[in-house]
């Protein structure tokens, strides 16, 4: 696997500075092998996340006059625990509409999923991860659709998607506390490109 660091999607998503979904785009040097390739993709993406976190720590230490920074892995991985189920790409990319916003700023959407005591800390939908982070992003469904039109320009029909458990790395622990966590891998057959989407945050 190699990261597609020059993909224009990265420049576009950087303009959404309050987005808590992490994206990693990559291509493999070997033919697509179904679920095996998807698992390789989530491992590759998590290692890239670790690399970014270590680099960010080093920049932070340097900025404030410290030493080189903590070079240890910030998160543990246990890939044996990573399990996946296929997900309909159209379901993954579902964008709700806003029904109303109450006087406290709470947004109500036209969909069946909503956070409650039973699903807090569990798997969250992609749209919720993008639109409803712990601290308001100000993003609206039109933003979500725009991001996905750039991320998957050929649309849902060209995609193969899996939803992964979130018990295989303590990266997801923050989301398990309350807001939720998620991991998806998506293969775009037309672009021969993998996208991994990760979400985990807390208040």
Compute the CA torsion angle 152, 125, 13, 50 (nearest 10 deg).
-110
Query: Residue 60: its pLDDT value, please?
Result: 61
Q: How far apart are the first and last CA of the chain?
A: 34
pLDDT score, position 75: 76
CATH number of the domain within which 109 lies = 3.40.1000
Tell me the per-residue pLDDT of 154-193, one tens digit each, with 9 for 90 and over: 999 999 999 999 999 999 999 999 999 999 999 999 999 9
User: What would the pLDDT profile of 92-147 be if each residue is shown by its tens digit?
Assistant: 999 999 998 888 888 889 988 888 878 888 899 999 999 999 988 889 999 999 99
Q: What is the dihedral of CA 26, 28, 29, 30, to 10 degrees?
A: -170
Residue 25: pLDDT above 70? yes
The fraction of the chain above a pLDDT of 70, given in percent, is: 92
- Of residues 184, 147, 198, 175, the one with CA closest to residue 22: 198
Q: How many structural domains comprise the chain?
A: 1
Full-model pTM: 0.89
Domain limits for position 29: 2-200
pLDDT of residue 113: 84
Which position has the higher pLDDT, 49 or 115?
49
């Amino acid at each position: 696997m190699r990261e597609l660091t020059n993909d224009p999607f990265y420049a576009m998503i950087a303009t959404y500075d309050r987005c808590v979904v992490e994206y990693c785009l990559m291509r493999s040097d070997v033919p697509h092998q179904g679920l095996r390739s998807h698992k390789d993709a989530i491992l590759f993406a998590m290692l890239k996340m670790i690399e970014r976190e270590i680099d960010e720590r080093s920049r932070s230490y340097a900025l404030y006059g410290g030493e080189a920074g903590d070079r240890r892995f910030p998160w543990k991985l246990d890939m044996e625990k990573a399990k996946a189920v296929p997900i309909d790409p159209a379901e993954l990319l579902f964008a709700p509409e806003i029904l109303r916003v109450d006087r406290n700023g709470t947004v109500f959407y036209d969909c069946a999923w909503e956070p409650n005591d039973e699903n807090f800390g569990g798997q969250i939908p992609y749209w919720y991860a993008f639109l409803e982070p712990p601290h308001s992003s100000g993003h609206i469904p039109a933003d979500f659709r725009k991001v996905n039109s750039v991320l998957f320009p050929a649309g849902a029909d060209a995609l193969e998607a899996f939803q992964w458990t979130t018990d295989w790395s303590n990266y997801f622990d923050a989301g398990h506390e309350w807001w939720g966590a998620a991991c998806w891998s998506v293969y775009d057959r037309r672009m021969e490109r993998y996208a991994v989407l990760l979400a985990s945050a807390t208040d």
